[in-house]
Chains A and B, each alone.
Chain A
Amino acid sequence: MKKRKTISPVRILFYIILISYAVITLGPFIWSFITSLKPTSETDNFTVHFSQLSFKNYGYIFTNFPFPRWLFNSIIIASVVSIGNLVFNSMAGYALARINFPGRKYLFLAILGMMMIPGQVVMVPTYMLLSKLGWMNTYMGMTIPFLTNMFLIFLMRQFFLGIPKELEEAAAIDGLGRFGTFFRIVLPMATTALTTQFILVFTGNWNSFMWPSLIATSSEMYTLPVGLNSFKGQYFQFPDQVLAGAMLLSLPMIAVFLIFQKKFIKGIASTGGKE
């Protein structure tokens, strides 16, 4: 039969391209990781002496620089922002999808319109507002303005539009109020969308640089990206140490993603893809 699986040259070329691109995306990480394990004198060489590799650089930057503090700040801020976004975006998205309140249509149109406003437009006045409030260089300033996100509200609305209404109606008949229905019935059904939201918010906030660099004015309030940027500026001649910092910033997000990736890809398919 002709249908027998033979490996055609096209197929081989196909796999070569696939693997090459994977090398391009993963290569810099692997190189950085290995370099971060090397002693400084070895950093510019292709060769790897396995006997010389160690986690010394990680220990060094942890004990001699405020990396533990920056890591702590990043974890706290990204967690608070993530929880806020999960709750508030889901609530707003649910209301826009299900609750028939006056002004709903206009609010939705307003969100679509405001999504086009670049955040930088409000950079100057927000900075002034945060200084007025005394929130500069505080956790409040780095979390509260970022507790909701219009793009994700839109995403949640699309998701809630797609799930069947019957369960909520049954819950309402059983005497459960709107909040009870939402938190006890609707949200538990939305784990895929919530996971997607969590990954987008947590990684986005963890990686964000512009706002924290503006709001955190002293080293002990820096987040990891801001800290790494200043560290890189001062210790550029020590690629091993700087790259250890870069790995400290990157690896946790890769880990979070690997843990949740199946749900995440499914979530994007069931929400973001529906234009």
Chain B
Amino acid sequence: MSIAETPNENKPIKVKKAPKVFFTNKKRESIDGWLFVAPFVILTLVFLIGPIIVAFILSFKQYSLLDQTTILGAKSVGIDNYIKVFKDPVFLQALKNTFVYSIGVVPLQLIISLLLALVVDSKIKAKAFFRVAYYIPTLTSIVAVSTIFLFLFKKDGIFNKFLSIFGIGGRTWFNDPNFALMAIILMAVWSSVGVTMIIFLAGLQEIPQTVYEAAEIDGANKFQRFFKITLPLIKPTVFFNLVMTIIGTLQMFDQAYVISGGNGGPLNSTMTVVLYLYNKGFKEFEMGYASAIAFVLFLIIFTLTLIQKRLFKEEPQ
């Protein structure tokens, strides 16, 4: 019996339809949808949401992994950990270093990578070669990069020998408290310019050629074209790169760990927030205090990201 052709005043059509299809379309969609996201949701609950809640509780506790108590049974210290964070001279030094590092790396990296992106996007010979050449450092482990730079920058290393040609006295760059962080900044820019360059390149290629042609007809020169057309049109890409590099630099760990052998030396000059967190949590087992440091870092990153969103007044999709 065909349902559609038998109008029935008393019973609505869908009641008859129901037993035929086991799941209605909508139900099917919701089951499929959640099945598709299930692996992600489960892993995120177990390895992100759960741990964040635990970290939050821990940050109000005095707890060591070596203690024989549970987390909930550990001694509550209220907001003492957070107060301690801002009175801790090593943390403040680490925070300062991290900001110096970020302020050193971000503008340098963005400017160099934008310039390189413009160059490899223009009509040049051996374009593919230069793209690959500029991208290669970003493929390399920070451990390998740091190792290479440790040798390049050591006292009797190649870099100092190169400087001595110009009569500049060498030094052990990574062992000098005045230069260690600066050397790490240069190394970081060297090793990560490629990523931002590739993303800028993608942004540049989205700009339709006709816009430039129109501007050329209107008599705009190269600089006007860059500042009046290119830059405004890649604003979302600039925003994206800015946010990503700031977040990345504030989480700096690998370079500092490998260069300093894990202690943030010399004289804490390469101690960063995450390295300090790592040492507090896993060398001294002050898990509660380490969690408080982690949340302070989170708040800093969160606030900076919101400020940037305001400044750019444009939300990336």
Interface residues of A (CB under 8 A from B): 14-15, 17-18, 21-22, 24-26, 28-29, 31-32, 35, 43-44, 46, 87-89, 91-92, 94-96, 99-104, 107, 114, 116-129, 131, 144-145, 147-148, 150, 153, 158, 178-179, 182, 203, 206-207, 209-210, 213-214, 224-226, 228-229, 232-233, 236, 239, 242-243, 245-247, 249-250, 253-254, 257-258, 261, 265, 268-269, 272-275
Determine the distance from Cα of A226 to Cα of B36 in the docked complex, in whole angstroms. 35
Identify A268's interface contact among B30, B58, B198, CB under 8 A: B198
How many pairs, one residue from A and one from B, have CB atoms within 8 Å of each other in the complex? Answer: 274
Report yes or no: B52 in contact with A121, Cβ–Cβ below 8 A. yes
Determine the distance from Cα of A25 to Cα of B131 in the docked complex, in whole angstroms. 11
Report yes or no: B148 in contact with A32, Cβ–Cβ below 8 A. yes
Report yes or no: B316 in contact with A122, Cβ–Cβ below 8 A. no
Secondary structure dominating the interface of A: helix
Report yes or no: A122 in contact with B55, Cβ–Cβ below 8 A. yes
Determine the distance from Cα of A102 to Cα of B31 in the docked complex, in whole angstroms. 9
Identify A122's interface contact among B52, B135, B144, CB under 8 A: B52
Number of interface residues of B (CB under 8 A): 92
Secondary structure dominating the interface of B: helix
Closest chain A residue to B54, Cβ basis: A125
Q: How far does the Cβ of A76 sit from chain B's closest Cβ, in whole Å?
A: 17
Q: How far does the Cβ of B150 sit from chain A's closest Cβ, in whole Å?
A: 7
Report yes or no: A203 in contact with B139, Cβ–Cβ below 8 A. yes
> Is B298 located at the chain interface by the 8 A CB criterion?
yes
Report yes or no: B33 in contact with A100, Cβ–Cβ below 8 A. yes
The verdict on A273 contacting B199 (CB below 8 Å), with A114-B48, A121-B297, A232-B147 known, is yes
Chain A residues near B305 (CB, 8 Å)?
Answer: 116
> Is B176 located at the chain interface by the 8 A CB criterion?
no
Report yes or no: A209 in contact with B142, Cβ–Cβ below 8 A. yes
Report yes or no: B136 in contact with A275, Cβ–Cβ below 8 A. no
The verdict on A272 contacting B202 (CB below 8 Å), with A203-B139, A228-B147, A232-B150 known, is yes
Q: How far does the Cβ of A86 sit from chain B's closest Cβ, in whole Å?
A: 12
> Is B40 located at the chain interface by the 8 A CB criterion?
yes
> Is B179 located at the chain interface by the 8 A CB criterion?
no
Determine the distance from Cα of A233 to Cα of B257 in the docked complex, in whole angstroms. 12
Report yes or no: B33 in contact with A207, Cβ–Cβ below 8 A. no
Report yes or no: A118 in contact with B301, Cβ–Cβ below 8 A. yes
Q: A46-B158, A125-B55, A253-B140 are in contact. List 12 more A-B contacts (CB 8 A).
A: A25-B137, A31-B148, A31-B158, A92-B36, A107-B41, A121-B55, A124-B294, A148-B39, A214-B282, A229-B257, A243-B151, A274-B206
The verdict on A22 contacting B130 (CB below 8 Å), with A121-B295, A203-B139, A210-B253 known, is yes
